[in-house]
Amino acid sequence: MPEDQVEESPFYGDASDFPIHLGFLSDEGRYWLQKTDDPDVALLAEIDDEAVEYWRPGHEPAAISESPTLLDTRWLPDGIHDDDGLSDSQLEAFALATTTMDQVIQGLLASGWRLRTQFTVSEQRVPRIKVIADPPNDVDDTAIRRVTDMFSLPWGTAELTWTGPPPSKWGDDWQLTEARVAGRVAPTDEETLNELLVIAMVTAPQWTVRPGFDRPVIRHSEGGHMPGTAISVVFDSQVANRSSAEIADLERRAAVWGDKHKFGVAISEPTKTSVQDALDRVGDGISGYYLLGFENGDRYLGQSTNIPARIETHKRERKGITSVRLLPDPEANTATSPVKQLLASERALIHSLQHSGLPTRNKAEMTYWTGHRAVDDIFPPVDATAEDWLNDPVGINQRGKKIPRMHTADLSAGNEAMSKLAERAGERLQQMLAIQRAYLDRCLPLPSQTEYEWWVVSSPLTTPSHGTLTNLSVGWTECLRINTTFSGFIQVNGVELFGEDSGSSGDFDDADAIRFMRQHPGAYVDNAPYSDGGAFNLNIYAPSLEVLADLLDDTAVTRAAATAALNYMRVRKVGAIKNSHNPVLAALLLDSGTATQ
């Protein structure tokens, strides 16, 4: 398959990250797979109508065609041929109808699976294609178990069947009618097929992936240390004292950034009327984005469905506003959910603004911080700053263990809930507590000093509908959850986990996700439903305590989780959810040993 078409495959993960090239032997009616980085010697597989001959690199058959083509009319079974007088539209319909099958074939073959195909046609000339796929023999058993647990799919042969209508009914409504995936009968929906492909790519043997794609995990348990932050950090409490030259430089840089992103000219001393007049002259409505300038050189980027009214509010609530630049969004005027559309673009604009090095006053979606925050006051007793902690969370937390626990609640208040937790956890209790201690020691700023005010840990008396066993929340947000099924998630900062380029777009690349899931089989990464903690929040879901423990042993994961936790603490304290705090559980976590470095 041509590489530009491989890259367009819509399944979860990019087949181009696997060193294969799919082609067709036109003179022999067979398909082949070829490593793209070494086309002469690295054939991987060969398929004919009934079976697959499979071999390893170094054991290749004869020469191959130099003109690979798509898997399209080759899927036509015996009795139906492209020279039967079929129209171009019928053949195109057939190709479209079998696209999903093609994508599954590509992903499974790229991951080392062995495939057999069966073509049949009924007396009514109804075509039927069956693909039986067996996983490679040299995959890791632990990885298989953890990944299939995540998707609740059994491991083994996958049988995919496509059945089409008679030729007289060929048309655009053709689609796969059923599939039995990994021994389970299910509709041939895209989600189920994606799950199978993720399982295949995450558990694929090392020899199937491009050299350098996999990366080693640096573990705390093996003496590894958390890497430094990848985020631009500005801890500056003296922003009001910038010199006139510094302010002039910030104004110049803000103008360059505003021009690049097509903001209008600056309006000095903006008012509701002057902003409305400027928008009227453009004629694109009053919804969009605005960039405030302050007398000390700071910026603030916002969005609104009524920019003039929003600017009037800012003028009442914020001091020192000297200018505003406007970027209307006419599509938001007719969008079904205009606020949702504006928020998505606002996130990318805020990230871009801050990545340019300009100081901004946005608290949400921040990639760095300026100014003093309440949580900064917890660090002087250990002779450190928030920036020191961000660069060495484990080391600074060790200093904090010399200071007595700050919260001194009546422990009897949590005894009943703790008993219920112990009963539900059973023999898994100590394993669960070790996971929570690892999070406290590696990811949470000075846990003995921030308990109750900035973080709480709960163990509900009555199990909620979503099955929570225990939550560790920072600010207002769950950052470490363990469920009654002993599954759970960890919230992390995605810029730290996948890099600043990913954060600027508010999403992560499929290749990053597959690489990470190969490092931690069973883990699954998705965007977090909250944005309170800064740029690009992710949840890493785990199907078991073993996978949760594995994640918290990875210094890259704890690096990302630590940044997320400090972000949340810089935004706000716990608030009303203090009522859920269990001081007995907290005491067990804080006073019963520590995780290893």
Q: What is the pLDDT of residue 264?
A: 94
Of 321, 340, 355, the residue at which a domain comes to its end is 355
Asked if residue 511 is part of any domain, the answer here is: yes
To which residue do tokens 């309170």 refer? Answer: 532
pTM of the model: 0.69
Pair 200, 313 in one domain: no
Q: What is the pLDDT of residue 276?
A: 95
Pair 260, 195 in one domain: no
Pair 22, 109 in one domain: yes
Least confident of 141-155, 358-372, 374-388: 358-372
φ, ψ of residue 542 to 5 degrees: the values are: -135, 135
Closest CA to 416 of 461, 480, 452: 461
Looking at the predicted structure, is the pLDDT value of residue 85 above 50? yes
Pair 284, 338 in one domain: yes
DSSP letters, 57-107, are TT---S---S----SSGGGPPTT--TTSS--HHHHHHHHHHTHHHHHHHHH
Pair 267, 341 in one domain: yes
DSSP structure class, residue 169: G
Pair 334, 404 in one domain: no
Q: Bigger pLDDT: 154 or 188?
A: 154
Buried b (16+ CB within 10 A) or exposed e, 430-442: ebbbbbbbbbbbb
**What's the angle, vertex CA 217, arms to CA 528 and CA 471, rounded to 5?**
35
Pair 344, 421 in one domain: no
Q: What is the pLDDT of residue 223?
A: 94
DSSP structure class, residue 182: T
Determine the average pLDDT of the residues in 569-573: 84
Closest CA to 179 of 190, 167, 168: 190
Q: Bigger pLDDT: 87 or 430?
A: 430
Q: In what order do the strands lie in the sheet with 158-163?
A: 114-121, 127-134, 158-163, 178-181, 184-186
Asked if residue 361 is part of any domain, the answer here is: no
133 neighbors 40 (Cβ within 8 angstroms): no
Q: What is the pLDDT of residue 204?
A: 82
Pair 264, 311 in one domain: yes
Asked if residue 218 is part of any domain, the answer here is: no
Highest mean pLDDT pick, 298-307, 353-362, 430-439, 470-479? 430-439
Tens of pLDDT, residue by residue over 391-405, are 899 999 999 888 888
To which residue do tokens 């929003």 refer? Answer: 310
Q: What is the pLDDT of residue 389?
A: 93
Looking at the predicted structure, is the pLDDT value of residue 362 above 80? no
Asked if residue 282 is part of any domain, the answer here is: yes
Pair 107, 190 in one domain: yes
Pair 47, 191 in one domain: yes
Highest mean pLDDT pick, 17-21, 156-160, 369-373? 156-160
Asked if residue 371 is part of any domain, the answer here is: no
Least confident of 12-26, 122-136, 182-196, 505-519: 12-26
Of 186, 208, 230, the residue at which a domain comes to its end is 208
Looking at the predicted structure, is the pLDDT value of residue 21 above 60? no
Of 355, 388, 409, the residue at which a domain comes to its end is 355
**Residue 369 confidence class, pLDDT cut points 50, 70, 90:** low
Looking at the predicted structure, is the pLDDT value of residue 330 above 80? yes
Asked if residue 543 is part of any domain, the answer here is: yes
Q: CA Rg, the chain, in Å?
A: 29
Residues near 517 by beta carbon (within 8 Å), at least 6 away in sequence? 147, 198, 202, 523, 524, 525
Looking at the predicted structure, is the pLDDT value of residue 235 above 50? no
Domain with 517, as residue range(s), is: 380-591
Asked if residue 225 is part of any domain, the answer here is: no
Tens of pLDDT, residue by residue over 111-153, are 777 766 666 666 666 666 667 777 777 778 888 888 887 777 7
Pair 425, 497 in one domain: yes
Pair 197, 275 in one domain: no
Determine the average pLDDT of the residues in 404-410: 78
Asked if residue 217 is part of any domain, the answer here is: no
Average pLDDT, the chain: 75
How many domains does the structure of the chain reveal? 3
